[in-house]
Homo-oligomer: A and B are copies of this chain.
Amino acid sequence: MLSDPTDFAAWRQAKQDEVEQALSTWVPADAPAGLGEAMRYAVLDGGKRLRPLLVLATSEAVGGSHGAALRASCAVELIHAYSLVHDDMPCMDNDVLRRGKPTVHVRYGEAQALLAGDALQALAFELLVPGDGSVSSEMAALLCRLLAQAAGASGMAGGQAIDLASVGLALDQPALEAMHRQKTGALLKASVTMGAATGSVPAQALEQLGRYGAALGLAFQVVDDVLDVTADSATLGKTAGKDAAADKPTFVSLMGLTQAQAYAERLLDQAHAALDESRLDDTAILHALADWVGRRAY
């Protein structure tokens, strides 16, 4: 167990550094005609690496393979990074600022941004099947399946399609939640299940880890909607207030600010409860990650 929050901060920093180093190794600098530069710009030195941290923490909680978990953590982050690159493009959200820097298409042009996103998705899957014996074929195939399902039409991409179609519509809460369970929730939940897949987990624990991931994923989005209203662009590192400006339904527009904040708390309580019910020995870091999502200030 973590004896105090500074342990978590130290763990987090160490893992963020390890992920950054691994991404820097695996995202190719030598890809041709500027593609590698655009890919690295999109991925490196940015973000809090929540998804990789979830993979690594879950893997540790189940005594999983660290080598496989590091690959899985980077693969999930590459999918996340590619989705941001494509999401920011003019035909989607048309955003110019991300993590405090010009977005990839602003920096490198739309065509290169499109290709960089595409290449990052391919690289994510390539990382999971190294072919050097460091990840067993069974584990590699399972990790690929979990990631592909989370990224595709029944996961993230499908959620983005719903998001596109929902601008200006009066979604009710179940519809808004369904969208976010796909758009951001699927990949966050997959971060947990992929971490679990690097070890061996009793069915009971796997189910509860799934509940943890799903609750945390939805809480993350509710917090995001709250911050879109309460924080400024400098703090967020991206354009604040853009959901309201785009007339997109959010948990805040639906429930009001106070209720949305309370809802995020309830979801995080569910995440903590699921961990307790998993009966895994050491879930302290996973608990701390849920707290971190609740108080993050992007």
Contacts and interface: CB of A to CB of B under 8 A. Distances in A.
A44 interface: no
Interface in A146-171: 147-149, 151-155, 157-162, 164-166
Nearest to A155: B122
Contacts of A129: 141-142, 144-145, 148
A157 B123 CA distance: 11
Contacts of A160: 115
A89 interface: yes
Copies per assembly? 2
Contact of A157 (B91, B118, B130, B144): B118
A138 B126 CA distance: 15
Contacts of A149: 126
A149 to B, nearest CB: 6
A110 interface: yes
Contacts of A82: 118
A221 interface: no
Nearest to A93: B111
Contacts of A165: 32-34
Q: Which of A82, A141, A159 has the most CB atoms of chain B within a 10 A radius of its CB?
A: A141
A245 to B, nearest CB: 17
B162 A122 contact: no
A123 B148 contact: yes
Given A126-B148, A141-B141, A115 B31 contact: no
A contact patch SS:
helix
A123 to B, nearest CB: 5
Contacts of A161: 31-35, 112, 115
Nearest to A124: B148
Interface in A24-52: 28, 31-36, 39
Nearest to A121: B121
A137 B129 CA distance: 11
A92 B118 CA distance: 13
A100 interface: no
A81 B83 CA distance: 19
A277 to B, nearest CB: 26
A39 B144 contact: no
A201 interface: no
B140 A144 contact: yes
B158 A35 contact: yes
B153 A122 contact: yes
A213 interface: no
